Amino acid sequence: MGPEAQFPFNQPIVWEPSDEYVQRSRLKRFMDRHHLSSFDELMQRSTTDIAWFWEAVFEDLGIEFYEPYTQVVDLSEGIQWPKWCVGAKLNIVHNCLDKWMGTPTQDRIAIRWEGEEGVVRQLTYRNLNNQVNQVASALRSVGLGKGDAIGLYMPMVPEIAIALLAIAKIGGIILPLFSGYGSGAIAMRLADADAKAIFTSNGQLRNAKTIAMKPVVDEALNEVPSIEKVIVYRRTDLEVPMTPDRDVWWDDFVDGQPTEAPTERTDAEDIIMIIYTSGTTGQPKGAVHTHCSFPIKVTHDMAHCFDVQQDDTVFWMTDMGWMMGPWEVFGTTILGANMLFYDGAPTYPDVDRVWALVERHGVTCLGIAPTFVRSIMPHGSEPIERHDLSSLRVIGSTGEAWNPDPWCWLFETVGRNEVPILNYSGGTEIAGGIVLSNTLLPIKPCSFSAPPPGMASDVADEEGNPVRGAVGELVIRQPWIGMTRGFWKDPERYLETYWSRIPDVWIQGDFAAIDEDGHWFILGRSDDTIKIAGKRVGPAEVESVLVSHPAVAEAAAIGVPDEIKGEAVVAFAVLQPNVNPDDALRAELEALIVREMGKPLAPKTVLFVPDIPKTRNAKVMRRVIRATYLGEPPGDLSALVNPEIVNEIREAI
């Protein structure tokens, strides 16, 4: 089924903002302050006068600079390479923590944490600031500082937020790593960024089982000689090997360090973070973000679209290795709100755990993925009805496309037909949303109400012309402050990925459509990137793992629909001559992918085929493979050098 067949025309409006939502809205106050009578008027001005808009955002969010900028944005090197906050000095940690000290906010809760085993901790802003300072001092004491890349491979404990902010405080570069990655995926990212250190844990808990983390790091570091220090947090009772001089326990690392430490006075455009995002070809792309990019864009989205304010508690079911982890930390602390971390399985010890967390901690903004909703729907509404969810004001959703049935089920059972589901779609390289809903605009099932202010988003045909009521490419026509500053050490790949098809237009790689009422819909990837439970995986990563096995000559990986995860990986392997394609080898290859990529990215299956469909210039035609696997027409095969292979793949399936 192509994206056109999935376009949900004629959906009804199911939620409209009440007076309570409108009067509370930060976005409404922003519009009133700038004498903008409608959201459409705000969108028009914010996307045609981008310097005015982002300066107004700085003011609204209370962003403080050490030294002021001389220009909001400089486009002299082209729309692809804007320079923001020109000449300014800014370390975003000043806005996350430093500026709250000595104010009433210092005694407010910054982080609430609950472990799977039921342990609860709370840190005020003062507690958080003191512990960030201790870790920052410890990092400096071992020679780490400005420009040094430091990995984060930990469960969702408060210490991962402390480490993230401490790295930024010393002017270092944060490298978030998904806690479910295998050693190969970790090694590739650490080595690419020339990382000097990594924070990890001895293990983590899932469904009352201990899962080792430190041994995975040890295996990865065999390939990463640049790592000088490994800081290990003791989350479980698991005993792990410690390499003398390199490895140190968290408590020993920070013991005796001062609770006061200076914040590095970085340039606003100094790098704060490299987040690796998977593409369709080659190794993962390191999206580069600066102190004035990612943190300001995510806080703008959180404040103006999710309407998060100081008395709100944000709980986004995520991992620090995905964009929404740093999103939660930077956004809540810049706003002086509080975040909830939960470290464990979302259905342990029962399927009502998430709803128990919402009730127990007074969550007002809950972020979940369609995958989770689809997985709990079979249990019905009873686990939800056990809990008082009246604290919820908004439900956020990101990571993948919705189907109408689970969306409506969530709206009716959890939201009681009153709480808006704010759909959110963007990306790591966007630093937030391209399109989303907000608390001022009506909502249809599965839809996005509009782009966020400041995002000149559009749906276009192949020539770049706007299209309405039909499927096109999701594009962006103006730069925005959160835009990645390119790919780490690979500017040409950045230009090729987003800017090469239509002059001066960013192409995101998603099919989208806008209906007659102006509501937006995302209809899946227009490239080959696979989304498993909201986690983007490049087929090339899976293929590289397979061809590392001596039995495999070539490989191709595709995403196929999965009822729970949204998509699952199906891999195709061409074997070396005289290798027997049996079930034992299939199991060995599947285990290899799990070991290298991590269990959450395990393939649905590995199939053995005689060849891979390719064009005459050797481009793998994954579109053809996917259509063949799904029993759909494979489309135009005239570009293939080996069109006969389609029938052979069909037989193998």
Sign for the CA dihedral angle at 541, 271, 165, 302 comes to negative
- Name residues whose C-beta falls within 8 Å of residue 109's C-beta, 6 or more positions apart in sequence: 122, 123, 124, 338
User: What average pLDDT does the chain have?
Assistant: 93
User: What is the pLDDT averaged over residues 152-174?
Assistant: 98
Is the pLDDT score of 495 beyond 50? yes
**Matching residue, tokens 């790689």:** 509
Is the pLDDT score of 502 beyond 70? yes
> Given this model, what pLDDT does residue 2 score?
40
**Residue 418 amino acid letter:** E
**Between the CA of residue 332 and those of 106, 163, 534, 541, what are the distances in Å?**
14, 16, 22, 33
Is the pLDDT score of 6 beyond 50? no
Is the pLDDT score of 272 beyond 60? yes
In this prediction the pTM is 0.86
- Burial class of residue 252, CB neighbours in 10 A (0-12, 13-18, 19+): exposed
Sequence length of the chain is 653
Bridge partners, residue 198, by sequence: 151, 230
**Matching residue, tokens 């102190």:** 291
Question: How does pLDDT run across 273-330, given as a tens digit for each residue?
Answer: 999 986 555 578 899 999 999 999 999 999 999 999 999 999 999 999 989 999 999 9
Is the pLDDT score of 238 beyond 90? yes
DSSP string computed for 16-42: ---HHHHHH-HHHHHHHHTT--SHHHH
The CA-CA-CA angle for residues 641, 571, 474, to 5°, reads 75
> Which of these ranges, 235-249, 344-358, 411-425, 526-540, has the smallest mean pLDDT?
526-540
Question: How does pLDDT run across 72-92, given as a tens digit for each residue?
Answer: 999 999 999 999 999 999 999
Separation CA 339–CA 350 (nearest Å): 23
Count of beta carbons in the 10 Å neighbourhood of residue 550? 8
Separation CA 624–CA 316 (nearest Å): 36
End-to-end CA gap in the chain: 18
Phi, psi of 604 (to 5 degrees): -65, -40
Query: In the numeric block, which tokens belong to residue 591?
Result: 């285990």
Q: Assess contact for 339 and 396: CB atoms under 8 A.
A: no
> Given this model, what pLDDT does residue 458 score?
97
Is the pLDDT score of 169 beyond 90? yes
> Given this model, what pLDDT does residue 5 score?
38
Q: Please tell me which of 156-160, 579-583, 644-648 the model is most confident about, judged by mean pLDDT.
A: 156-160
Q: What is the CA radius of gyration of the chain?
A: 24
DSSP state of 451: P
Separation CA 451–CA 453 (nearest Å): 6
> Given this model, what pLDDT does residue 279 score?
55
Of 494, 409, 531, 584, residue with least CA distance to 78? 494
Bridge partners, residue 175, by sequence: 151
Separation CA 126–CA 110 (nearest Å): 9
Q: Assess contact for 288 and 272: CB atoms under 8 A.
A: no
Q: Which region holds residue 135: left if phi is over 0, alpha if psi is between -120 and 50, else beta?
A: alpha
Please confirm whether the linkage preceding 349 is cis (ω < 30° from 0). Answer: yes
Count of beta carbons in the 10 Å neighbourhood of residue 626? 18
pLDDT band with cut points at 50, 70 and 90 for residue 114 = very high
Percent of the chain past pLDDT 70, that is, above it, reads: 96
User: What is the pLDDT averaged over residues 504-524?
Assistant: 89
Instruction: Report all structural domains of the chain as residue ranges with CATH numbers, in order of start.
Output: 530-652 (3.30.300.30)
DSSP state of 558: E
pLDDT band with cut points at 50, 70 and 90 for residue 371 = confident
> Given this model, what pLDDT does residue 648 score?
87
Helix (H, G, I), strand (E, B) or coil at 288: strand
Is the pLDDT score of 512 beyond 60? yes
> Which of these ranges, 49-53, 304-308, 456-460, 559-563, has the smallest mean pLDDT?
559-563
Q: Specify the pairing of strand 365-368 against strand 394-398.
A: parallel
Q: Assess contact for 541 and 284: CB atoms under 8 A.
A: yes
Question: How does pLDDT run across 92-110, given as a tens digit for each residue?
Answer: 999 999 999 999 999 999 9
> Given this model, what pLDDT does residue 617 score?
47
User: What is the pLDDT averaged over residues 11-16?
Assistant: 93
Percent of the chain past pLDDT 90, that is, above it, reads: 78
- Name residues whose C-beta falls within 8 Å of residue 580's C-beta, 6 or more positions apart in sequence: none
Question: How does pLDDT run across 36-66, given as a tens digit for each residue?
Answer: 999 999 999 999 999 999 999 999 999 999 9
Is the pLDDT score of 3 beyond 60? no
Phi, psi of 625 (to 5 degrees): -65, -45
**Between the CA of residue 646 and those of 346, 607, 636, what are the distances in Å?**
41, 14, 12
Count of beta carbons in the 10 Å neighbourhood of residue 275? 27
pLDDT band with cut points at 50, 70 and 90 for residue 260 = very high
> Given this model, what pLDDT does residue 565 score?
87
> Given this model, what pLDDT does residue 85 score?
98
> Given this model, what pLDDT does residue 532 score?
87
